[in-house]
Structure 1
Amino acid sequence: MAARVKETAVQEAEHLRQLTEEGVKSGAYIYPIRGIYYYLSHRDLWSPLTSKLVPTITTGLGVTTFMFVFTYLPQAAIMAFTSGPLAALSAALLVLSESSTLTMVLSKALLIEDSLIDTFDGTLMSRGQSELVARERTVKSGGAGNVMARLGKLAGKPFAKFTPQAIIRYFMFLPLNLIPIVGTIAFVVLQGRRTGPQAHNRYYQLKGMDKTQREQAVEKRKAAYASFGIVAVLLEMIPIAGIFFAYTNTVGAALWAADLEQKGSTAPALREQAKKAS
């Protein structure tokens, strides 16, 4: 039994090493950073965020207040055994991080999903992918160079609407943060591996891919998606600024999608199937 456990551990470590190496080689982790610079330099992409700023800030304040009232003292008591005299500060920082992440989950589910889709589509159009966007929504002519002004009505429902499973999974992984350093790293990696592929849900919808085709595409780039997701999660966990990074991460995902289109990186078989589906 001990030999089997050791063998399994070695195999998992090797698998993780390979994924990490593939993720680094992919360069996908750079796109969330590129998204920040691109977003700041393209003012016409700001309107979806500004239109949702007040309700998301209100939600964030409510979540943060709730978390401090009901979770700060229990977590401080637990961390007294792991962080010693720094338990009060460590618990406060942990609650802020948890509040930011939970605010992102709730906001994406209830408030900003449509505006994130607008941001994704607008970024694609700014990169010359108007024909791709036009497959799933009306694209207006003109707009005086403002890509957001050219976005018309969506042709169909947004892909992968929110399910309560996102909240459930979040709370399942949340206790990992009570373990100093290692636990937080594990939480970020698990969240990143789950959320990374979701960054291109809209892209695969625009491509007309069905569930099987999407799964094949995600499997092909699973390491790249994990590296993208980990960086994106880290940014969105930053208190207060998390809502801003939700939009810049969306821009980064769209920039990645535009690069894939320009390079023709979608697998040929998937492209043919997508054409037939459309």
Structure 2
Amino acid sequence: MTGKLDSVKTKAKEVAVEDFNKAKALAEQAAKSRAYLYPIKGIFYFASHSTLWKPLISKLVPTMTLSVGVIAFMFIFAYLPQLSILVLFNGPVAVLTTVLLTLSESSTIITLLSRNFLIHDALVDTFDGVLVARNQTSVVSEGRELRSGNFNDPIAKLGKLIKSPFEKFTPKALIRYVMYLPLNFIPLVGTVLFVVLQGKTRGLSAHTRYFQLKKWSNSKREQWLQENTAPYTAFGTVATLLELIPVASIFFSFTNTVGAALWAADIENNNTSMTEMQTPKGGKDVKKSE
């Protein structure tokens, strides 16, 4: 009996060490890629390029109204019931974790409604506009018409869409969100894990438009994302945290889109420190960074 227990303990230790090493490797890959900086770069780039504001301004009033309405509704009707449950598991910390949970839920609802009904095309224009501003017109031309002329305004160069871009909010994403909700019962650590898992989902969808413009097959895209899960999770986690900020979440949806486009442009230019990122087999679209 003692021998079996020792064997189980040894295997458990081996699994723990293996998982720790995997987590460490992913963390190192994420840090080396510097992908977590792109949401921040997106803020500064967006703020300093007023020509990119047009899509946001055109949708500002309806999206702000939606955001305020959803957040107010959630805190009035959902905060206290959830607090009464989480306080049993998290104690006094539940006041904070419930706020984060309610904001996360509000952000999900706002994203679901706005991306499907309000800002879908505006985000596409923003992504494509950044690529045009970064001299990636050959990439953008694969998905939409571009107007001729030497415009200083990249948005003005955008013509009719050839391909319907970006995946809208899918049922699978909503199911994952509901599955991860119980993590919030774990004090602090659970909330952090919840945000990171949401960040992974958010990050893996960051370049949907880019993959479409590059005409990557589903298998090539999945291979690329699998090989580079850490950088995309790092990007998505920072993007998720920004989009949790009340009312400003829509603004950060646009700046995160700008950040994703800047990242795509850097990949195209082979001008990125993502040394772990490699071209999927069977494709020559992206070179490994030097």
Q: TM-score, normalised by structure 2?
A: 0.85
Query: How far apart are the structure 2 equivalents of 1:85 and 1:209?
Result: 49
Deviations 1:106-141 (A, max 9, x none): 322332222111111000000001111011100002
Query: How far apart are the structure 2 equivalents of 1:19 and 1:68?
Result: 36
Aligned-partner SS, 1:146: coil
Residues 1:57 and 2:32 aligned together: no
Aligned-partner SS, 1:213: helix
Residues 1:174 and 2:186 aligned together: no
How far the C-alpha of 1:72 sits from its partner, in A, is: 1.5
Deviations 1:157-189 (A, max 9, x none): 224343222222222223323433211110111
Aligned-partner SS, 1:196: helix
Query: How far apart are the structure 2 equivalents of 1:92 and 1:217?
Result: 35
Task: Judge conservation of contact 2:115–2:168 (CA < 8 Å) in 1.
Answer: no
In structure 2, list runs of 5 or more residues that go unmatched. Answer: 1-7, 272-276
Query: Counterpart in 1 of 2:4?
Result: none
Deviations 1:21-48 (A, max 9, x none): 1100111111111110000000111111
Task: Judge conservation of contact 2:43–2:259 (CA < 8 Å) in 1.
Answer: yes
Query: Counterpart in 2 of 1:267?
Result: 279
Task: Judge conservation of contact 1:45–1:119 (CA < 8 Å) in 2.
Answer: yes
Tell me which amino acid in the other structure corresponds to 2:44.
Y
**Residues 96-175 of structure 1 mapped to structure 2, 5 A cutoff:** 96-142=103-149, 144-175=151-182
1:113 to 1:24, Cα distance in 2 relative to 1, 3 A: same
Task: Judge conservation of contact 2:97–2:191 (CA < 8 Å) in 1.
Answer: no
Answer 1 or 2: which has greater helix percent.
1
Task: Judge conservation of contact 1:160–1:201 (CA < 8 Å) in 2.
Answer: yes
Deviations 1:184-234 (A, max 9, x none): 110111111122121111111111111011112212322111111111111
Residues 1:218 and 2:220 aligned together: no
Query: Counterpart in 1 of 2:84?
Result: 77
Query: How far apart are the structure 1 equivalents of 2:92 and 2:270?
Result: 54
Deviations 1:61-103 (A, max 9, x none): 3322332233222222124335555655664454234323432
Query: Counterpart in 1 of 2:17?
Result: 10
Number of paired residues? 274
Task: Judge conservation of contact 1:200–1:253 (CA < 8 Å) in 2.
Answer: yes
**Residues 201-212 of structure 1 mapped to structure 2, 5 A cutoff:** 201-212=208-219
Give the superposed CA RMSD: 2.4
In structure 1, list runs of 5 or more residues that go unmatched. Answer: none
Question: What's the % identity of the aligned pairs?
Answer: 51
Query: Counterpart in 2 of 1:30?
Result: 37
1:125 to 1:270, Cα distance in 2 relative to 1, 3 A: farther
Stretch of structure 1 that moved more, 170-179 or 206-215 = 170-179
Query: How far apart are the structure 2 equivalents of 1:232 and 1:122?
Result: 20
Q: TM-score, normalised by structure 1?
A: 0.89
